[in-house]
Structure 1
Amino acid sequence: MGRSAAPPDPREALARATDHLLALQNADGWWKGDLETNVTMDAEDLLLRQFLGIREPEQTAASAAWIRSQQRADGTWATFHDGPPELSATVEAYVALKLAGDDPEAPHMAAASAYVRAAGGIAAARVFTRIWLALFGWWPWERLPEMPPEIMFLPRWVPLNIYAFGCWARQTIVPLTVVSAHRPVRPGPFDLTELHTDPADPYPLRPLSPIAGWDGLFERLDKVLHAYHHVAARPLRRAALAKAGRWIVERQEADGCWGGIQPPAVYSLIALQLLGYDLDHPVMKAGLDSFDRFTVHTEDGRRWMEACQSPVWDTCLATIALRDAGLPADHPALASAVGWMLDEEITTPGDWAVRRPRLAPGGWAFEFENDNYPDVDDTAEVVLALRRVTHPEQSRLDGAVERAVEWTLGMQSRNGAWGAFDVNNTSTLPNKLPFCDFGEVVDPPSADVTAHMVEMLAEVGRAEDPRTKRGVAWLLANQEADGSWFGRWGTNYIYGTGSVLPALVAAGLPTDHPAVRHAVGWLESRQNQDGGWGEDMRSYADPATWSGRGESTASQTAWALMALLAAGEGLSDGSSAAVERGVAWLAATQLPSGTWDEPQFTGTGFPWDFSINYHLYRLVFPVTALGRYLHRTPLGGGPK
């Protein structure tokens, strides 16, 4: 009888992963993994180029090839790996392929249109999809919710002023007010009769909701705004459009993009052209050129678009991971990363200053060029990374950390917690507008961001600060009944719990605290039979079924391990069965190259509505978890 193969050694797995991660570093010091979302990015890129009259055959063919490659056997497209069919994504993908010349009678196109009709047709698609179709005469502007540019004049104390929306939403809504005011139609080269459930009544009216609720109230307000569109005073409308145009131009980033994300960029370009900017204008040229940096070209000739890019986020996480893996604090790769991060510090005010005008700036954003929108989450994690590396310019590093700490403390919301981009951005009214059916449009405090802040404040010696204690109290008060925490920016309860437990322990909560033990019990109950952890995006829509449930993934297994290790599980004698099984799963599923296969989406843009596959998550988080397990260090720390 032959001997059974020895189980994979986690030390070897960590060494391979560390080497692989180091090899991915850019010569300038940063890391950036691809950021994968869904085919609406690619479809809308083609539609934008069609609207502007700049769509080119080679570009179209490469994008169409990618879109076809993402279609499933039933003819539909989803918004995350193995997700359910998504109507709006399928409509947009179908239209893009028809633009590319695909025959509507071809099997893949016929299957897609059949699904669209069965799901309610174009009339059931989201507002943003119907806006794209209205640009080409495929949907009437009168059948879309109205958002007038006069919203620009609402003072900040009035509900539904533009600063009541989260930064990503206001960056999208302002240009769309311009588009809505102009209602342009550049007739498409074909019709879309096959996407209507009843071609004789292609634009059915939706029944009004009862007037007693917010939905009914806003639907009736929308009718008033539609009437106003036809009688708006021309001088007032011109002034509103001019104000919106200035607002858009002032917020163009140094790389030509807006907000560092695709939706504001495409709508800003359309809005500015409608306001008279020609394609040769420097603002327009820079905006269009920015898309080249968001384009990923595959080896087989396909082309797909990132919705945004994450170099700051990826770099700070990689730095933390490599320190946890055992790299010395003065390792050249880490010094290079810190030098790059210090150069990326933002010391000028952005949109956040509208609510905090006296707060001194100091923080980091997500992207290469995103200075208008630094965020608390990136800033907290960058500080954690900086604190763990020694650097020749130590005084510069210390100054950046001090500015970041003061800025993020000033961004604390009144309930003691932190949102990502704004302070007290908690109104529920924007989400109820008929126009806003594209995902979360406000930025309330969340457990994951608050946890990262608490962990950072503890690291810099502020655990006893009353503001830190308020953050801890908020986290304890917002623990779910089952012991987990909700994950706003990662999927989902595993991410939330994986963020909160290390933060609470770092802030001084004992590992035998009831909240900690409750969370440990929840994590152990969610471990898969194979030893890993996974959570499907459907947990946002159906937490009762999917909370902490899904195929095992490397990133989510690592989050669970980071939480369990922080809680003291398996650190002293390795006796935690859950930890040992999780580590064994990571070691056994590692690819020969040193990374892990992870087609599942574990990042979140808007819960349920917009999902992200961060291609570096599958590497940086396992490196962190394996490093903390092997070195018996449940949390990060200062330079050693």
Structure 2
Amino acid sequence: MAADGSALPASPLSRDELDRVVTNAHAALGRVQRDDGHWVYELEADATIPAEYILLEHFLDRIDDELEQKMAVYLRRIQSDVHHGWPLYHDGDFNISASVKAYFALKAAGDDINAPHMKRAREAILAHGGAERSNVFTRFQLALFGEVPWRATPVMPVEIMLLSRSAFFSVWNMSYWSRTVIAPLLVLAALRPLALNPRQIHVRELFRTPPEKVRDWIRGPYRSNWGYVFKGLDMALRPLVPMIPAKTHEKAIKAAIDFIEPRLNGKDGIGAIYPAMANTVMMYRALGVPDTDPRAATAWEAVQGLIVQKDDEAYCQPCVSPIWDTGLSGHAMIEAASGPNGIAPEKTLAALKKTSAWLRSKQILDVKGDWAINKPDLAPGGWAFQYGNDYYPDVDDTAVVGMLLHREGDPENAESIERARQWIIGMQSTNGGWGAFDIDNNKDILNHIPFADHGALLDPPTADVTARCVSFLAQLGHPEDEPVIQRGLDYLRREQEADGSWFGRWGTNYIYGTWSVLCAFNAAGISHDDPAVVRAVEWLRSVQQEDGGWGEGCESFEDGPRGTYKQSLPSQTAWGALALMAAGRRDDPAVSRAMSWLASQQDEQGEWHEDPYNAVGFPKVFYLRYHGYKQFFPLLALARYRNLETSNTRRVAFGF
């Protein structure tokens, strides 16, 4: 029996059974491909985003009661039965900030505070220190509703928008998501509007100390002594901010607006992420811009595009992920169609030809985004994560899409691949790694300012993104790229953990990172007997579950156990098996057991199911559940396993 009491997987899959599982998974993934060739799955976060959406409607007095009731159903469903608050991911620990927002939103939606679920939530919030202990973004939300004084928020004068790129606190030293969220938030903080709040919903009952009597809103915990230094700076600046000349203040607000408006991004929204969009909607209202103004109307439309409505519930996504989903789905489909036993190769390749055309149409070729601040002479050539986000192409997406276009093989892809190659090379940071959106965005001291209590103000290089870039360039095989690849490999070697794993950053977590890097090593021709590879393989074997699968909880982002979870998960099992196959261990019993486990978990429709979250936005603050991961990654792993059986070299010819 497995550790969770379930039966261990059967003996190794027969060839017929393997073919059946791959065929069914291929059909299931094919069914959800859109007519134009792309894929897009739901992208779910925690209670925070739908709660913020409900509060946004009450800020604006644009209340859609039917939608709010559906979101209330969702919020009640994900409330914990254990700690009675709201976690940041499935079955996670209590989170004070998510719980405060969810409670506030449910009260706004009409829930009686004496209802059992509200009473339990309130008691949990008070037991954890009350709403006064919520994070910075929650306190900004509370300030907009008049629940806390503005002194509850850190000093962030809008004059920051006037600082040059060379200034330490310049927004250009922050990540893309920080810039797009902060710019409209600074205007709101400067104007200090009060929510219309037509039903006059307030949450004084969530505070252990009346907000007006709280003396110290910024009291850690600090990640280093810099936290104390910046708290002192915050205290010193508070009496000085009101003394800033009115003309300077107005100039700064204009600078923020001048930053925002070229980046409004139509129906896809500024930054194509919810917090930036919502802040912009509120900013326009605070500025007195009518809702019918094209800028305000389009900003509101962008927010509406993130809502997922079902029969009985609804939630708001943090963003959408069509480029990422399409790239990964395409890799799984082409793997299933490859080899002597490829599934419907002609039909699949015809469908992927449409995919390639759709992806080519989404490549960003005529906009130099914020990345160009550091690389003004670099030609654009990346892809965004979302349908449209031209100012912010994603390095990770670009590498994944580039590998797919190269593998798909249509000659019409050549120019797109070359533009992507040049852009990826140009985006390499000085330490040899790659960040997700920026170059050398690594002034870590900024993560210690009071505003950055989430610890994610920056976009430094990471092992998983670097691995994908190395894989892409190695797959293309241009000899002149060898120095670039080698710098990337050197970075990856430095980043290996003592136990042999790699930190994943954008996926959960050490299994994800280790899979990513072993793929890159394999594509770059690193020996399967290289000590770094051997250590990684041994770590993966050590964390494999008794039932043959792999699982890792988001707790590993919070100093919890690495590479382990209370159950095996389809996405994690696929990553673990793909990692071992990339390390030349296709015939390892660990891989065979993983394949058997995946086969045993597939349903009659050819699909897999998993509730736990499988990715992260900001560790310890914001987590993600990609609904597509449980489908395309198992297909990729099973098809790779099948294809390597007939390979003479057992080396994967592609970087992914």
Whether these two folds match at TM > 0.5 is yes
The match for 1:166 among 170, 175, 198 is 175
Q: Mark the CA change 1:550 to 1:542 in structure 2 (over 3 Å): closer, same or farther.
A: farther
Which structure 1 residue ranges, 5 or more long, are not aligned? none
Q: Mark the CA change 1:528 to 1:602 in structure 2 (over 3 Å): closer, same or farther.
A: same
Q: Mark the CA change 1:38 to 1:142 in structure 2 (over 3 Å): closer, same or farther.
A: same
Are 1:364 and 2:402 an aligned pair? no
The match for 2:225 among 204, 209, 213 is 213
Q: Which residue is equivalent to 2:500?
A: 483
Q: Which residue is equivalent to 1:115?
A: 124
Determine the C-alpha separation between the residues in 2 that align with 1:510 and 1:613. Answer: 34
Q: Mark the CA change 1:323 to 1:499 in structure 2 (over 3 Å): closer, same or farther.
A: same
Are 1:447 and 2:463 an aligned pair? yes
1:32-79 CA deviation, whole Å, 9 max, x = no partner?
110011111111111111111211222221211211121122421111
Q: Mark the CA change 1:486 to 1:177 in structure 2 (over 3 Å): closer, same or farther.
A: same
Determine the C-alpha separation between the residues in 2 that align with 1:14 and 1:202. Answer: 63
Q: Which residue is equivalent to 2:510?
A: 493
3-state SS of paired residue (1:331)? helix
Shift, 1:223, TM fit: 1.8
Determine the C-alpha separation between the residues in 2 that align with 1:424 and 1:178. Answer: 27
1:254-298 CA deviation, whole Å, 9 max, x = no partner?
325111110111111112222232211101111111122211111
Contact between 1:31 and 1:314, CA under 8 Å: does it hold in 2?
Answer: yes
Q: Percent identity?
A: 40
Q: Which residue is equivalent to 2:153?
A: 144
Q: Which residue is equivalent to 1:258?
A: 270
Determine the C-alpha separation between the residues in 2 that align with 1:250 and 1:630. Answer: 49
The match for 2:188 among 179, 191, 200 is 179
Shift, 1:439, TM fit: 4.4
Determine the C-alpha separation between the residues in 2 that align with 1:207 and 1:278. Answer: 36
Are 1:331 and 2:354 an aligned pair? no
Q: Mark the CA change 1:211 to 1:282 in structure 2 (over 3 Å): closer, same or farther.
A: closer
* Alignment root-mean-square deviation, CA: 2.0
Determine the C-alpha separation between the residues in 2 that align with 1:628 and 1:304. Answer: 35
3-state SS of paired residue (1:504)? helix
Q: Which amino acid aligns with 2:633?
A: F
Q: Which residue is equivalent to 2:165?
A: 156
Q: Which residue is equivalent to 1:246?
A: 258
What pairs with 1:52-451 in structure 2 (closer than 5 Å)?
52-73=60-81, 74-186=83-195, 188=197, 189-199=200-210, 203-206=214-217, 213-300=225-312, 302-327=313-338, 328=345, 331-347=349-365, 348-391=367-410, 394=411, 396-451=412-467
Shift, 1:177, TM fit: 0.9
Q: Mark the CA change 1:594 to 1:204 in structure 2 (over 3 Å): closer, same or farther.
A: farther
Bigger Cα displacement from structure 2, 617-626 vs 54-63: 54-63
Q: How many residues are aligned here?
A: 627
Determine the C-alpha separation between the residues in 1 that align with 2:274 and 2:219. Answer: 32
Q: Mark the CA change 1:7 to 1:358 in structure 2 (over 3 Å): closer, same or farther.
A: closer
Determine the C-alpha separation between the residues in 2 that align with 1:569 and 1:154. Answer: 53
Contact between 2:50 and 2:71, CA under 8 Å: does it hold in 1?
Answer: yes
Determine the C-alpha separation between the residues in 1 that align with 2:425 and 2:223. Answer: 42
Contact between 1:181 and 1:229, CA under 8 Å: does it hold in 2?
Answer: no
Q: Which amino acid aligns with 1:269?
A: V
Q: Which residue is equivalent to 1:47?
A: 55
TM-score calculated relative to the size of structure 1: 0.95
Determine the C-alpha separation between the residues in 1 that align with 2:384 and 2:564. Answer: 29
The match for 1:12 among 16, 20, 26 is 20
Determine the C-alpha separation between the residues in 2 that align with 1:6 and 1:637. Answer: 29
Shift, 1:636, TM fit: 5.4
Q: Which residue is equivalent to 2:42?
A: 34
Shift, 1:6, TM fit: 8.1
Shift, 1:120, TM fit: 0.5
3-state SS of paired residue (2:450)? coil
Determine the C-alpha separation between the residues in 1 that align with 2:358 and 2:131. Answer: 47
Determine the C-alpha separation between the residues in 1 that align with 2:219 and 2:619. Answer: 26
Q: Which amino acid aligns with 2:386?
A: E
Determine the C-alpha separation between the residues in 2 that align with 1:180 and 1:549. Answer: 41
Q: Which residue is equivalent to 2:619?
A: 607
Contact between 1:139 and 1:203, CA under 8 Å: does it hold in 2?
Answer: no
Bigger Cα displacement from structure 2, 545-554 vs 174-183: 545-554
3-state SS of paired residue (2:266)? coil
Contact between 1:388 and 1:637, CA under 8 Å: does it hold in 2?
Answer: no
1:295-349 CA deviation, whole Å, 9 max, x = no partner?
111122x111111111001101111111111253772111111110000010121
Q: Which residue is equivalent to 2:342?
A: none
3-state SS of paired residue (2:625)? strand
Contact between 2:58 and 2:195, CA under 8 Å: does it hold in 1?
Answer: no
Determine the C-alpha separation between the residues in 1 that align with 2:517 and 2:629. Answer: 18
Shift, 1:193, TM fit: 2.5
